[in-house]
């Protein structure tokens, strides 16, 4: 296995940024259960059962789309 050519610019990749934001939000909600309860209480009861399994799938899909979408070369992003 070899790294991609632009591995030194990992922090600029959309897939990494989406994963970082999702991880930060998840960590915040786990560290603050009262906020998690407020978020869950704001979701209509019919949708609550869908949110738990759909959230990780949605994040996976977003990261995958970001990873396979052509991005500007690091030099062009200044």
Q: What is the pLDDT of residues 23-73, one digit of tens each?
A: 999 899 999 999 989 988 999 988 988 887 898 999 999 999 988 888 776
Confirm whether 5 is domain-assigned: no
Residue 19 burial by Cβ neighbours in a 10 Å radius (0-12, 13-18, 19+): middle
Model confidence band, residue 74 (pLDDT cutoffs 50, 70, 90) = low
Confirm whether 74 is domain-assigned: no
Position with higher pLDDT, 1 vs 17: 17
Domain total of the chain = 1
Confirm whether 14 is domain-assigned: yes
Confirm whether 17 is domain-assigned: yes
Average pLDDT for residues 15-22, to the nearest whole number? 93
Confirm whether 45 is domain-assigned: yes
Domain that holds residue 14: 10-69
Confirm whether 49 is domain-assigned: yes
- Cα 60 to its chain centre, rounded Å, is 7
The pLDDT of residue 77: 57
The pLDDT of residue 78: 56
Confirm whether 40 is domain-assigned: yes
Confirm whether 54 is domain-assigned: yes
């Amino acid at each position: 296995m070899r790294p991609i050519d632009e591995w030194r610019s990992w922090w600029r990749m959309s897939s990494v940024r989406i994963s970082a934001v999702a991880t930060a939000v998840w960590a915040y909600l786990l560290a603050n259960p009262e906020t998690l309860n407020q978020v869950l209480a704001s979701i209509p009861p019919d949708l609550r059962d869908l949110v738990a399994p759909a959230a990780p799938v949605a994040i996976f899909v977003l990261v995958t789309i970001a990873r396979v979408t052509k991005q500007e070369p690091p030099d062009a992003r200044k």
